[in-house]
C-alpha cells in the first residue's frame, strides 16, 4: 500500500527531502513561462538522476507534429542542446526517415524506455502532491505516438485502447501554464489514472499497477509490443 510520509520526506522514497523537484521538469517551460510551477519535496538523487532522460524527452517532443505555438518555442532550446551535444542529436534521430519532401513529413523511432522513465517520475510526483501518497508502480502509455504500421494503414492495434483511455472522465487539475502542461486524474476501483498533456498536443496516460497483477500485465504488454513495431 502507498505510504503516507511526512512533509520532510522525498516524494519518491523515504530519504529526507533536501531540495524541490519541478514536475514536469523546469526545462520543459520556455523562459517567461516559469511562474508558479509545480514542485514536490525531493532527495538529491530523485531530483537529478533522470536528467539525461528529461533532456531526451523534451527534445523529442519539440519535433513532434501537432504542438501549439508555445511548443514551437522549444525548438531554439532543443537546437542549443544539440549544438552542445552532437552525439545526443545522433542518438535521438538515428532512425530518421523522410516520408514526404512536399509535406515536410519525417519520422523516427522514439526510445520508449526513456519516455516511460521520465513520465513515470512526473506522474509519481503529481500523485504525491495531490493525494499525499507514494506509489512507484505505474504503467505509461503514449497515445500520441504511433506504430510504424500505422503510417501506411492509418491505424494500429492500439486505437481501441486509445479510445478507451480518452473516454475516462478525468477531473482537470489547475496548472499555472496550461499551454505548456495540463493534466487530469480519475479514481477507479483499483487505483488512479492520469492524462498528461504537453504543449496542447503531446498526450501521455499513466495508471497505477497493483502489485498482485503487475507481472501479468507487463508480460501482456511486452508480448503485444514485440508483435507490433515500436511507437514513432
Provide DSSP, 91-158. HHTTT-EEEETTTTEEE----HHHHHHHHHHHHHHHHHHHHS-----EEEE-TTS-BTTHHHHS--TT
Tell me, what's the pLDDT at 232? Answer: 43
Tell me, what's the pLDDT at 123? Answer: 97
Tell me, what's the pLDDT at 99? Answer: 61
Whole-angstrom Cα distance, residue 159 to residue 11? 34
Tell me, what's the pLDDT at 215? Answer: 53
Whole-angstrom Cα distance, residue 31 to residue 16? 31
Tell me, what's the pLDDT at 214? Answer: 54
Tell me, what's the pLDDT at 12? Answer: 92
Placement of cell 491505424 in the chain: 155
Tell me, what's the pLDDT at 229? Answer: 44
Tell me, what's the pLDDT at 51? Answer: 80
Tell me, what's the pLDDT at 73? Answer: 86
Tell me, what's the pLDDT at 141? Answer: 95
Low-confidence residues of the chain: pLDDT under 50:
1-6, 216, 220, 223-224, 226-232
Whole-angstrom Cα distance, residue 112 to residue 183? 21
Residue 183: other Cβ atoms inside 10 A: 25
Please answer whether residues 27 and 58 qualify as being in contact, where contact means their C-beta atoms are separated by less than 8 angstroms.
yes
- The model's pTM is 0.83
Beta bridge partners of 30: none
For the chain, the structural domain boundaries read 19-227
Tell me, what's the pLDDT at 3? Answer: 46
Amino acid at each position: 500500500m502507498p505510504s503516507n510520509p511526512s512533509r520532510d520526506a522525498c516524494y519518491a522514497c523515504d530519504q529526507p527531502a533536501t531540495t524541490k523537484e519541478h514536475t514536469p521538469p523546469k526545462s520543459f517551460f520556455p523562459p517567461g513561462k516559469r511562474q508558479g510551477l509545480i514542485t514536490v519535496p525531493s532527495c538529491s538523487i530523485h531530483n537529478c538522476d533522470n536528467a539525461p532522460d528529461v533532456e531526451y524527452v523534451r527534445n523529442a517532443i519539440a519535433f513532434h507534429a501537432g504542438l501549439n505555438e508555445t511548443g514551437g518555442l522549444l525548438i531554439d532550446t532543443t537546437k542549443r542542446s544539440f549544438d552542445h551535444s552532437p552525439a545526443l542529436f545522433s542518438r535521438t534521430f538515428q532512425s530518421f526517415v523522410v516520408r514526404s519532401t512536399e509535406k515536410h513529413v519525417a519520422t523516427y523511432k522514439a526510445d520508449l524506455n526513456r519516455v516511460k522513465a521520465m513520465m513515470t517520475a512526473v506522474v509519481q510526483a503529481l500523485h504525491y502532491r495531490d493525494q499525499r501518497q507514494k506509489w512507484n508502480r505505474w504503467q505509461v502509455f503514449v497515445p500520441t505516438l504511433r506504430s510504424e504500421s500505422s503510417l501506411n494503414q492509418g491505424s494500429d492495434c492500439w486505437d481501441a485502447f486509445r479510445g478507451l483511455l480518452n473516454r475516462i472522465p478525468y477531473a482537470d487539475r489547475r496548472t499555472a501554464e496550461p499551454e505548456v502542461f495540463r493534466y487530469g486524474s480519475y479514481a477507479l476501483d483499483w487505483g488512479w489514472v492520469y492524462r498528461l498533456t504537453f504543449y496542447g498536443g503531446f498526450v501521455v496516460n499513466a495508471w497505477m499497477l497493483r502489485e498482485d497483477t503487475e507481472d501479468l500485465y507487463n508480460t501482456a504488454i511486452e508480448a503485444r509490443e514485440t508483435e507490433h513495431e515500436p511507437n514513432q
